[in-house]
Chains A and B, each alone.
Chain A
């Protein structure tokens, strides 16, 4: 392989990106050295097993990926904003919609949710960490290795370009001979291992580590949603893993699983992809439902309406989500019987989802509603998500889908589901739980300005796409002629995309502004919350709970506040904590190099990196570190300090 094939060449945009990557990396290295922060970085972050810090790292990574995916999105909108635009060529457009889709779903939405889950779940159930803290660190570093591997593809070797669904035969070696889709299969396999372990970790955490007295039906709704999501992860991700493995074999080892000759079957890829893919959309949307439930009940000052029906509808959704996958390829050639079946199961999902919408509405009914920033996102979510849901039912009708399939109508639909359902949720959760992690709130006024920008621009960006789709503009189309008449609505959508960009910049600016000027919160409970995380001082100490609370009912903390009683009368004892470890980070690096070398089929270095992976794992299994104890006096001191008493 020659150097000009190794680096992506010829495009000024890419050269600009390369230069900025080098500059930013240099700036980080110089900054860390100048401020002598290497030791701090290593001790406090790279080796941490603290669920709160791992959560923060997930969220930081997700915000960076939101930026990357967002730049892709704006570039696509710019390219299609006018007929016959010459901003991107066809190949570059293909690469960008592919990386946008993959990054937004796998490296933005999921990690953002994992971040919130990591920070909040142990606090909500009264635990001191997750069940397997070190495994949790491994999950994070594998996700990060996968994400970085995927992201370097656009400067080294070239990005995948067959869509985020990577359909065969297009994604096969015959039609996509360059390394792009190798990046796809390897980056997703590596981060997928991390995801699977996160799922496991949270099932065990929630099943085994709840505070005494907290039965399943007394758990907060976010915890419930994460439990159910983790179960879906455990059962859906293996299918993707296997499919990606077969893809890798087909592309790099000459097998014929998804090819069109020698008994291969290209459509089997689409089939397996969506067996995972549809549950995947529930993996990103169910935790969002949980977040909204928490926020709505907090700011309506009421307990959640229909708790039981909420839980049941989530269980029903999780079961049904495995029975609908063929609705993504109604037009592939199966008969009316098959399409009819999957049509009906798909529409059936609307029922439990509708139940949840009504539960939120009834929670709001007669509540004393406080219009805070997280609450505004939650309120906006309800009608916007409903538009996404209703257009979803339209798409679910197999015969009608022959019209909508692969048009901009579909693109509008899934953004109307994913953006309110996931992005608004994580932003709302971010604003809501921010004070818990950092000890001060994000500024409300600035937060609301960003909110209005985002909400209005979102609709301006995506509503026109419904009409463009109905007029026949297809998805993944990089240019069109003047005569099609698609120009004006695309331009309108571009205006919206600029507004969205401004909105996100305002949001990030608010983080900066609030860090500098926002008053510190001394109560630990700035929103007058209901669940256990608000019973602790913020920022939360490493050990979370000085004494583990005892639970007798739902929203225990809320009632304890009303009655002025404390959550436990036990004395403080010494606390057992897991010790930090550098091995998960090293494992992540080893996996990154393994993935990178396999992408380019450089087998000798790949084997070396593979041995490094195995050695790190072996070293881990011989580790006999049983953690350490925090002595009573230290806990007492730190509690006093955090609660604002003089020491």
Chain B
């Protein structure tokens, strides 16, 4: 009964995601660029995994095959967007 009224997992997830957001605000201080990007990257990855595990119930499905296909496609898309953009604007830029 109490468990139903107080969904521990969700509350922990919610608080943790707020904390991660606050940590990301650290980059407002004057830090070296590499450190800033590092902080942003780490908190972003943690944040995304947190959402997937706590709220989107990843891994709770019995059908693992479609789960892996989905993750693979999502990663493919993200990498294509990032490296495609770098390819266009940095490595392949007409100078």
Contacts and interface: CB of A to CB of B under 8 A. Distances in A.
Interface of A: 207, 231, 235, 239, 265, 267-268, 271, 275, 322-323, 325-326, 333-338, 341
Contact of B92 (A231, A323, A334): A334
Interface in B62-92: 66, 73-74, 77, 80-81, 84-85, 87-89, 92
A271 B80 contact: no
Contact of B93 (A207, A231, A335): A335
Chain B interface secondary structure, helix, strand, loop or mixed? helix
Given A333-B94, A334-B92, A323 B80 contact: yes
B87 A271 contact: no
B94 A235 contact: no
Interface residues of B, number: 15
A338 B92 contact: yes
Interface string B7-38: 00000000000000000000000000000000
B93 A271 contact: no
B88 A338 contact: yes
A379 to B, nearest CB: 35
Given A207-B66, A334-B93, A335-B93, A271 B77 contact: no
A262 to B, nearest CB: 14
Given A322-B80, A323-B80, A338-B88, A333 B66 contact: no
A506 to B, nearest CB: 43
A298 to B, nearest CB: 31
Nearest to A236: B77
Contacts of A322: 77, 80
A265 B90 CA distance: 13
6 contacts: A235-B74, A268-B85, A334-B94, A335-B92, A338-B88, A338-B92
B32 to A, nearest CB: 16
A341 B42 CA distance: 32
B74 A335 contact: no
A215 B85 CA distance: 39
Given A333-B93, A333-B94, A326 B88 contact: yes
Contact of A335 (B66, B81, B85, B94): B94
A119 to B, nearest CB: 26
B61 to A, nearest CB: 11
A431 B89 CA distance: 47
Question: Top 6 A-B pairs ranked by shortest CB distance?
Answer: A338-B92, A335-B94, A235-B77, A337-B92, A335-B92, A334-B88
B82 to A, nearest CB: 10
B34 to A, nearest CB: 16
Interface of B: 66, 73-74, 77, 80-81, 84-85, 87-89, 92-95
B92 A271 contact: no
A271 B66 contact: no
- Which of A333, A336, A338 has its CB near the most chain B CB atoms (within 10 A)? A338
Nearest to A336: B94
Contacts of B74: 235
A322 B88 CA distance: 15
B48 to A, nearest CB: 12
B4 to A, nearest CB: 12
Contacts of B66: 207
A60 to B, nearest CB: 34
B77 A338 contact: no
B73 A239 contact: no
- Which of B73, B74, B92 has its CB near the most chain A CB atoms (within 10 A)? B92
Given A207-B66, A235-B73, A235-B74, A338 B87 contact: yes
A271 B73 contact: no
Nearest to B73: A235
A152 B10 CA distance: 39
Contact of B88 (A207, A231, A239, A271): A271
A235 B76 CA distance: 10
Contacts of B93: 333-335, 338
A271 B92 CA distance: 14
B73 A267 contact: no
Nearest to B92: A338
Nearest to B85: A271
B92 A275 contact: no
A207 B84 CA distance: 31
Contacts of B88: 271, 326, 334, 338
A491 to B, nearest CB: 41
Contacts of A341: 87, 92
Nearest to A265: B89
Contacts of A265: 89
A493 B3 CA distance: 68
Given A235-B73, A235-B74, A334 B89 contact: yes
Given A231-B73, A268-B89, 17 more contacts: A235-B73, A267-B89, A268-B85, A271-B85, A271-B89, A275-B81, A322-B77, A322-B80, A323-B80, A326-B84, A326-B88, A333-B93, A334-B94, A336-B94, A338-B87, A338-B93, A341-B92
Contacts of A268: 85, 89
A341 B84 CA distance: 10
Nearest to A323: B80
A338 B80 CA distance: 14
Contacts of B85: 268, 271, 275
A428 B66 CA distance: 34
